Amino acid sequence: MMPGKKLKIGIVCPYSWDTPGGVQNHIRDLAEFCISSGHEVSVLAPASDDSNLPPYVVNAGKPVAIPYNGAVARVLFGPIAFARVRAWISTGDFDVVHLHEPAIPSLSLLACWAAQGPMVGTFHAAAKHQKIIYAIGPILEPAIEKLSARIAVSEAARLTLTNHLETDAVVIPNGIYAKRYASGVRQEKWSGNTIGFIGRFEEPRKGLAVLVDALPIIARFAPDVKVFIAGPGDSKDVEKSIDPQLRHCFEFLGRISEDEKADFMSSVALYVAPNTGGESFGIILVEALAAGACVVASDIPAFDSLISGGQYGALFKSEDSTDLAKVVIGLLQDAQKRSELARKGKEHAQIFDWELVGKQIFSIYEMAMVGGDRVTPSSDNRRWNRLLSRDSEPE
CATH code of the domain in which 228 resides: 3.40.50.2000
Whether the predicted pLDDT of 365 surpasses 50: yes
Same domain, 381 and 365: yes
| Residue 366 located in a structural domain | yes
Instruction: For residues 312 and 383, give the distance between their C-alpha atoms in angstroms, rounded to a whole number.
Output: 49
Same domain, 165 and 212: no
pTM above 0.95, yes or no: no
Mean pLDDT of 58-84: 86
Same domain, 39 and 163: yes
| Residue 384 located in a structural domain | yes
Mean pLDDT of 361-378: 93
| Residue 2 located in a structural domain | no
Same domain, 249 and 327: yes
Same domain, 319 and 196: yes
| Residue 393 located in a structural domain | no
Strand 96-100 with 314-316, pairing: unpaired
Same domain, 291 and 204: yes
CB neighbours of residue 218 within 10 Å: 24
Same domain, 53 and 113: yes
Same domain, 21 and 120: yes
Instruction: For residues 273 and 291, give the distance between their C-alpha atoms in angstroms, rounded to a whole number.
Output: 15
| Residue 382 located in a structural domain | yes
Same domain, 342 and 370: no
> In this predicted structure, what is the pLDDT of residue 381?
66
- Phi, psi of 85, deg, nearest 5: -60, -45
pLDDT band at 2 (very low <50, low <70, confident <90, very high): very low
| Residue 379 located in a structural domain | yes
pLDDT, tens only, 232-289: 888 988 999 999 999 999 999 999 998 899 999 999 999 999 999 878 888 999 999 9
Same domain, 134 and 274: no
Domain that holds residue 235: 178-351
Number of domains in the chain: 2
Same domain, 382 and 234: no
| Residue 395 located in a structural domain | no
Same domain, 299 and 182: yes
How far is CA 196 from its chain centroid? 19
| Residue 253 located in a structural domain | yes
pLDDT, tens only, 91-121: 999 999 999 999 888 999 999 999 999 999 9
Instruction: For residues 136 and 109, give the distance between their C-alpha atoms in angstroms, rounded to a whole number.
Output: 11
Instruction: Please answer whether residues 43 and 58 qualify as being in contact, where contact means their C-beta atoms are separated by less than 8 angstroms.
Output: yes
